[in-house]
Structure 1
Amino acid sequence: MIPSLLTQFSTPRRCFPLMAFAMALPTSTLAEFRALDDSSLSTVTGQAGVTIELETRLTMDSLTWTDEGSLSVNGLRLSGQNDTVLDNMKLTLDIAGDGEVLEHGFSEIARRANAGLLDPSDPDVAEALATYSVNGEFGKQFDSGDLVIHLGAIDYGDPTSLNDYLQAVDFELAVDSIVTSGTEGSATLFSDMLLQGYVGPTDLVIRNQGGNTRTLANGNVVSGSELQLDTHFEITNGSLNWDAADLILLFNFAAVGIEGLQIHNRRGDDTLGHFGMAHATAKLSRGTSAASAVEGLSVHDVEFRADIDMPIFRIGGTSIGSVQFTDFAITDTTMMVYGH
């Protein structure tokens, strides 16, 4: 590269502007210029990531998917609680070096516990210390070229308070209705949806595995380069009308109304390390189905763990009392998504 650039200025006519520029510089400035050989250039790399402080409010009148019929999400809004601005969010983006330890999950809790700001005898705190302590650093170790995006808070409040940490980012999600339409008319699946709660540490990682592949337990072959999602959250208050829809293709909750919905993880046997928050993970990549040999989007290693409280559960407008799920878990779930 350098010889070719010098060649461009080899004639007196082309060299004159460069010489004039150099002569105009102070002698002290010229003294700071140093030639870099290929070996020196190879060590010049960017070592810092990017931090984005974010606040937003999202509204959408209608989102429609049209096939032979259509499916519409109407009146969607994502904001802070009570329709305020969704704020106090901080995104950190890093491209990992080989073996680099970067922020992930509850690593901030581990860092505070190590500094003596949180009680390490608390079982959740102790689990965070064990999980996120890596060779004197706090986070998760990644491979060269992995893109790591971590969502946390700008201001966590009192560094000795777990509640301040867990409630640093509040949100509200509202949807007026979800409607399916066709030649026979339309049907409302859900209506008057409102979810309020808190967003815990959330991570998006794009693993850089080149062209490597791996085979899942069901025989599907998926790319080793995949998007990995890991999030913690809590719903403190939710309501919806479940007009006509299936839950996980098993339970039809038509004509059901729910009020006071809470989704958390404070009961049962799988609370350790989640600080009372629900937890969801999934991986997405290109894949090929073992059953049909069709290529599509593979959604695999899906896991969801939570406790679910529905203090007001109405069927046909009449309350039948309260419903609770403890240690509700979705595991060993794989999907292959493709067009037909």
Structure 2
Amino acid sequence: MIQPHACYRGTRSTTLSLWVLALSLPGTALAEFQALDDSTLSGVTGQAGVTIELETKISVDRLSWTDEGSLNVNNLRLSGHNDTVLDNLKLTVDIAGTGEVLEHGFSEIARRADAGLLSTSDADVADALAKYSIGGEFGKQFNSGDLVIHLGATDYGDPTRLTDYLRAVDFELEVGSITATGSGGTATLFSDVLLQGYVGPTDLVIRNAGGSSKTLGNGNLVSGAELQLDTHFEITNGSLNWDAADVILLFNFAAVGIEGLQIHNRRGNDTLGHFGMASATAKLSRGTGSVSGKEGLSVHDVEFRADIDMPVFKVGQASIGSVQFTDFAITNTTMLVYGH
């Protein structure tokens, strides 16, 4: 079992200094060090865990994909609210042992509920306690060799306040425009995108399944070794211009402006276990199409659940009122991506 992680803030110079210090120890001190056999090592905790406290700000002038033409993401910025530093982030990285329980999802909520800091009269809290409590530990059970990366907060604030937990990590995403360029010129798909919100627990798991494989419901053959993504988030205020684009290949939202956008999960019949946040899950692995026989990147078991509010919905310069989606869900979705 992995015990509390050491905060990883070391540098090369620090490591070199430690080696110099060790080599300078007198022989009597070095004589106290003894080799550890396998049975002794098996009792040492914290062997495979690393914690990274992170703060950052990311900007990209242009991100382009070029084929015959090009698709460009222009003036991208990821930061905290109001163009501040994106901070209070904590990554825990573990390589699991057989049956090991590691941090995952809302397991911190389960830990607090078990300690009596949060009331299980809240349905979401009760659900977290039931889902993430495993034999006196809190998290999810993994297999030997699974790589588990959990994103949470360094400081969650008052442990008795759910709001502090859910709003511990704030973010802001800005994109100047998304354009497509070809022989006929340049078309703007989206412009003036600004999204503010909060990041909930996010997990990346690389399953160690060796050379195993499995068959999906549509017949595609995929590797059992896969990357699993599981995230919760909330958009509290967003705006964008939808200049020319299709939605699910059916609806063209050209010349649409959206203001006051919110994406959450607080309404309807699909809120349990999400603490009011939107959620997304997906699995990625090598795959082979059952019909085409092509090999590529399989994106499967995709799921997205949210409520979406667009209080100001403009067509051209005039507002046509507000638009709301309740229990918006994308499920049973599989994609195989390959070159042609």
With normalisation by structure 2, the TM-score equals 0.90
Residue in structure 1 matched with residue 242 of structure 2 by the alignment: 242
- State how far apart, in whole Å, the 2-side matches of 1:253 and 1:101 are: 46
Matches within 5 A, 1:202-213: 202-213=202-213
Q: Which amino acid in 2 is paired with 1:57?
A: K
Give the distance between the partners of 2:71 and 2:258, measured in 1 at CA.
Answer: 23
- Which whole-Å CA distance do the structure 2 matches of 1:119 and 1:39 have between them? 42
1:48 offset after TM fit, Å? 4.0
CA distance in 2, matches of 1:70, 1:161: 47
After TM superposition, list the pairs within 5 Å mapping 1:1-340 onto structure 2. Answer: 28-29=28-29, 31-32=31-32, 34=34, 47-340=47-340
* Change beyond 3 A, Cα 1:165–1:336: same
- Report the CA distance between 1:26 and its aligned residue: 5.4
Deviations 1:124-148 (A, max 9, x none): 0000001101111000000000000
Q: Which runs of 4+ in 1 moved over 4 A?
A: 24-27, 33-46
**What secondary structure does 2:296 align onto?**
strand
For residues 322 and 44 of structure 1, do their structure 2 counterparts lie closer, same or farther at Cα, with a shift above 3 Å needed?
closer
Identity, in percent, stands at 80
Tell me: CA distance 1:112–1:69, structure 2 relative to 1, closer, same or farther (3 Å). same
Which residue identity is paired with 1:108? E
What SS does the corresponding residue of 1:165 show, helix, strand or coil?
helix
Displacement of 1:121 in angstroms is 1.2
Q: Deviations over 1:169-223 (max 9, x none)?
A: 0000000000001111110000000000000000000000000000000000000
**Pair 1:35–1:58, CA change in 2 (3 A):** closer
> Greater CA radius of gyration, 1 or 2?
1
Residue type matched to 1:204 in 2? L
CA distance in 2, matches of 1:35, 1:154: 35
Q: Secondary structure at the match of 1:266?
A: coil
3-state SS of 1:260 partner: strand
CA distance in structure 1 between the partners assigned to 2:306 and 2:48 by the alignment:
36
Q: CA deviation at 1:247?
A: 1.4
> Structure 2 stretches of 5 or more lacking a match?
1-23
Shift of the 30–93 alpha-carbon distance from structure 1 to 2, 3 Å rule, reads closer
Whole-Å separation in 1 of the counterparts to 2:129 and 2:45: 32
Aligned residues: 317
Q: Which residue of 2 aligns with 1:12?
A: none
Deviation (angstroms), 1:41 = 7.7
Q: 1:185 to 1:118 in 2, by over 3 A?
A: same
- Once residues 322 and 32 of structure 2 are traced to their aligned partners in structure 1, the CA distance between those partners, rounded to angstroms, is 75
CA separation of 1:34 and 1:239: change in aligned 2, threshold 3 A: closer
Q: 1:247 to 1:44 in 2, by over 3 A?
A: same
TM-score (norm 1): 0.90
In the TM superposition, residue 35 of structure 1 has moved relative to its aligned partner by: 6.1
CA distance in 1, matches of 2:38, 2:100: 25
Cα distance between partner residues in 2 of 1:64 and 1:150: 30
Find the residue that maps to 1:268 and give its secondary structure: coil
Cα offset, 1:291, TM superposition? 1.2
Unaligned runs of 5+ in 1: 1-23
**Bigger CA drift: 34-43 or 55-64?**
34-43
